[in-house]
Amino acid sequence: MTDRSAPLSDRVLALAGLVQALAQVRRIADTGQAHADVLSTALDSVFRIDADSAEAVYGGARSLRTGLMLLRDYFGGSMPDEQLPRLALAVIQLERRFVSDEEMVMRVQGGIRALDAAAERLGSSHPDVLTALGALYADTLSHLRPRVLVQGNPHYLGQAAVVAEVRAVLLSAVRSAVLWRQMGGSLWDFLLRKRAMGEAVQELLA
């Protein structure tokens, strides 16, 4: 359910979670390596389906500093990685298809809940959990259109473990896109609310 009364800061945090996850996808695809703390923030958010607030989904606003800085650049008219906005738009479009498919939503939620115990015991970024999350994405969201196409180093994107990690983090990006919509987010944020969004980002970074 969409909460249009939610504070703008909640919407910004969800959007920061989205772009931070996608920046991590780009890093993994290019280098085969993830930033451990950022990876944990992304994957932990997948399992916090029933969190009380946007901040609780990510374990606090500080965990999203990288994403907030990327949003600051974007709303300030400067985005060093030109692929990030394209990827974000693709994920936002994918989220619309996803939430309209009730059966798929149930499959994804059920798959996540089935992994709760393993993620709690091993950690959300454990290879076994990553592989399972990647498989869940491959079996569900990857069949929707538009597909989220990730470019990177073919050497790494040819490795099953790297592909699974990319898919797992993409799942977290979709989770953030769902949260953003639930907090009242829409594409109008990028057209009519850029100044307000930019100010909210600065407040969260302060």
Query: For residue 191, what pLDDT is reported?
Result: 82
Indicate the pLDDT class of residue 175, thresholds 50, 70 and 90: very high
> Would residue 3 count as lying in a domain?
no
Asked if residue 70 lies in contact with residue 84, where contact means CB atoms within 8 angstroms, the answer is yes
Tell me the CATH number at 106. 1.10.3890.10
Poorest-confidence range of 68-82, 114-128, 172-186?
Answer: 68-82
Asked if pLDDT for residue 4 goes beyond 80, the answer is no
- Give SS3 for 35: coil
Cα separations (Å) of 139 from 3, 44, 96, 133, 182? 30, 20, 18, 10, 24
Each residue's pLDDT tens digit, 13-56: 999 999 999 999 999 999 999 999 999 999 999 999 989 899 99
Query: What share of the chain in percent tops pLDDT 70?
Result: 98
Query: For residue 80, what pLDDT is reported?
Result: 82
> Would residue 2 count as lying in a domain?
no
d(CA 134, CA 60): 25
> Would residue 95 count as lying in a domain?
yes
The DSSP element (H or E) to which 22 belongs, if any, is: helix 8-31
* DSSP characters over 37-102: HHHHHHHHHHH-TT-SSHHHHHTSGGGGHHHHHHHHHHHTT--S-THHHHHHHHHHHHHHHHHT-H
d(CA 34, CA 161): 12
Query: What share of the chain in percent tops pLDDT 90?
Result: 85
> Would residue 32 count as lying in a domain?
yes
Query: For residue 63, what pLDDT is reported?
Result: 97
Asked if pLDDT for residue 1 goes beyond 70, the answer is no
Query: For residue 2, what pLDDT is reported?
Result: 59
d(CA 98, CA 108): 10
> Would residue 41 count as lying in a domain?
yes
Structure tokens at 68: 């907030």
> Would residue 109 count as lying in a domain?
yes
> Would residue 1 count as lying in a domain?
no
Domain count, the chain: 1
Domain residue limits at 27: 8-205
Each residue's pLDDT tens digit, 113-160: 999 999 999 999 999 999 999 999 999 999 999 899 999 999 999 999
Average of pLDDT values for 74-90? 90
Mean pLDDT of the chain: 94
Q: Crossing angle for the helix pair 8-31 and 36-47, nearest 10 degrees?
A: 130
> Would residue 86 count as lying in a domain?
yes
Asked if residue 176 lies in contact with residue 18, where contact means CB atoms within 8 angstroms, the answer is yes
